[in-house]
Chain A
C-alpha cells in the first residue's frame, strides 16, 4: 500500500489504492480512469484536484460519492466503508456526501419550478412534515442568496449564476458534511464566477463543510483550496499545501501546467521562461510504463520507463511521484 498522503487524524474521507475501470465499447480492453490513488480529505478543508481532460479527476469525484463503483481499493467515509452498510442505511448515509456538477442547465428539470427542484431531495429522503420541508428548502434558498419569489419560476427564467445557486441550495437541503464540486464555476462568466466562489467560501465557514474541488482551472483551485492534488493519466503526481504546490512545484508536470497557464499580467511581470510541453496526454487505454508523464517530460531518463516512481514526502505534507524531484537545480525557476 502507498504511504498515506496527509495526516491521518480524523479524515472525513480516506481513499486507499483506488482504481476505477471502464470497459471499452468493444469489451476488449479496460480503461483505468483512476489507477491507484490514495489520499485523505481532512475535515473542514477544501481539497482541490486539478488535471486536464482525461486525467481521471471527474471519475474520482463520482467514486467519492459512490456514483461509480470502485473496481479496486477502498473509500472510507468517517472510517466506514459505506458499501458494507445495509441498503437503507447506505441511502441515508449518502445524504451527507453530495456532489455538484458543472452545468446547472443539465442538472435542473426545465419543467419543474425552482422550489420543487430544491424540495425534491427532502421529499425523497422523507424528512419531516411538508411544512418543515418547505421551511428547510426556503432556508437553503435564502442561505445561497436567492430571493424567495424565484421559487415559483422555471429554470429558463434564471441566469446561469442563479441556476448554479439553486443547485447549491438543493445540495444544502440535506445538510451534507462534504460536497464534491466538479467544475462548478467553469460554465459561468468571469464576473459571476467570483460571486459563486465567495458563496462557497462563506458556506464552508458558516456550516463547517468540507469540499473536494475538482477543476482544470489553476486560478480557481489555487484561490479556494487548502491543499491541491495534481492528477495525470489516472494517478496523482503531486499533493501538498496550495502555497507549496503553486509556489514551489516539485513535479515537472505541475511545473509545466503552472507555466502554461496564461496570466493576465503586463509583459514586464511575466516570466519568459515558459515550459511548453510537447504533444498531448497519451491514451489511458495503453498508458506509458513506469512514470506516465515520461513521454512528455524534458527530464525523462531510462529509469522513468522502467520503474514507477515512488510516492514520496519530500517536504512536510508535500508529496510527489518523480524519480528526480529531489535533485538540486531540478526546478526551472
Chain B
C-alpha cells in the first residue's frame, strides 16, 4: 500500500512537470465566532509550495501564521465560523474535502509538528508506541514490521541506541530528543509535506542547530516539502529557500530567502530586518517599528501596515493586492517599485555579528 502510494506520487509529479505546485493556497480566509461578533483572523492568503521545497512563514505573534498552518490540516478550534478559499493538494481541496478524505491525508501525506513536544506526546505511552501508531493507522503493516520501521526512523532522526529508546516514555527523554521523536512520528509515513510550527522555539540554541540541521537534511533526502512557521528570521535564513512574510492576517511578501533579506520589497519586512539586534551597529540605537499590530477587532481599511509605515502616503487607504514583482516575487504594497528599502546588509560590517560574516 505504501509502495502503491509512492508510485502514484512519482507518476503524478512526472506528468505534471517539475514546476507543478504540491500545494496551492488561494484566497484562504479564516473567520471565528467570538462574543464580540465574527473575527476575520486571516484573509486573502495565497501561496504555493513546490514538491520538496522548504518555505518559511514568518511574522509576529497574532499575524495568523499558526492558524494558516492549522487550517491546512483542518485542525481548527470549535468556534470556527467560516473557511474561505481553497487549499489544493494534489487535486484535493483540503478546505472543502470530506472529513474522511482529510483523515487519509492528515498524518500520512501531510504531517505536522509543534513547538512543545512534551504536550504533543502522550506521557503514558512509550515513544515507540506513539510513532508506530501513525504507521498502523495509515498502512496495513504488521506489528513487527512497524517496530522495525520505527527503530529505523528513530535512527534516521539521530537518536542513539534506538532499540532501547523505543521502549522509553517521553519523560525519560530530553527536550531535543522529544522533538526528534515528534519528527520521527511525523515522517514515518513518508509525507509529502511537513508543517513545522515553531519547532525549535522551546529549545536551546545549540540543540536548535541540531534540529534545524536534521529537518533540512531529512527534507532533502526524502524530498519532503517543509513549511516552517517561525518568528525567527535567522531560523528561516538557515533552513528555507523561500520566505513568506505575514502581517495582520495577510501575506505581505513572498520571495526567495536571499532576495528578501538583501532587498525586501515591503516596508514591514524591511523594518523587521532593521530591528534585529544582530544587524544593527553595536550599542547604537535599534531602529524599531512604531506603534503596534492592529487588533483583529478593528482592522483598518486598505493597507494594514500604513499606520506604522514610514512610507505611507495618499493611496495607501486603497485595498492592497498581492502584486507580482517579477522573478517569482510577490508583495502587497502598491509603492514597491518606487521604494528602495534597506535589507539585512546595511550594517553587517559594524554589527555584533560582523566577525562571523563571510566576506566575498
Give A contacts to B, CB under 8 Å: 52-53, 159, 161, 189-195, 197-198, 201, 216, 218-220, 222-224, 242-243, 246-248, 256-271, 274, 276-278, 280-281, 333
Contacts and interface: CB of A to CB of B under 8 A. Distances in A.
Interface string B309-346: 00000000000000000000000000000000000110
A197 B282 contact: no
Contacts, number: 163
B262 A266 contact: yes
Nearest to B236: A264
Residue picked from B176, B258, B279, B283, most chain A C-beta under 10 Å: B283
Interface in B196-242: 204-210, 212-213, 231-239
B273 interface: yes
B296 to A, nearest CB: 14
B277 A219 contact: yes
A201 B236 CA distance: 29
Contacts of A190: 60, 231, 233, 272, 275-276
Given A190-B276, A197-B277, A267-B258, A262 B61 contact: no
Nearest to B308: A191
Contacts of B280: 194, 223
Contact of A266 (B207, B237, B239): B237
16 contacts: A190-B60, A191-B60, A191-B272, A193-B288, A194-B277, A218-B205, A218-B352, A219-B277, A219-B278, A257-B205, A263-B234, A263-B237, A264-B233, A267-B237, A269-B358, A271-B358
Nearest to A261: B205
B62 to A, nearest CB: 8
B289 interface: yes
A285 B285 CA distance: 42
Given A223-B283, A265-B261, A266-B237, A260 B292 contact: no
A248 B174 CA distance: 31
Contacts of B356: 246, 258-259, 263, 271, 333
Name the 9 nearest CB pairs between A and B, nearest first.
Answer: A262-B234, A194-B286, A194-B288, A222-B352, A247-B355, A223-B277, A260-B209, A52-B204, A266-B258
Question: In the complex, which of the residues B234, B275, B278 has the most CB atoms of chain A within 10 Å of its own CB atom?
Answer: B278
B288 A198 contact: yes
A256 B204 CA distance: 12
A189 B231 contact: yes
Contact of B209 (A161, A268, A277): A277
A219 B353 CA distance: 8
A260 B232 CA distance: 14
B357 A264 contact: no
B85 interface: no
Contacts of A274: 209, 213
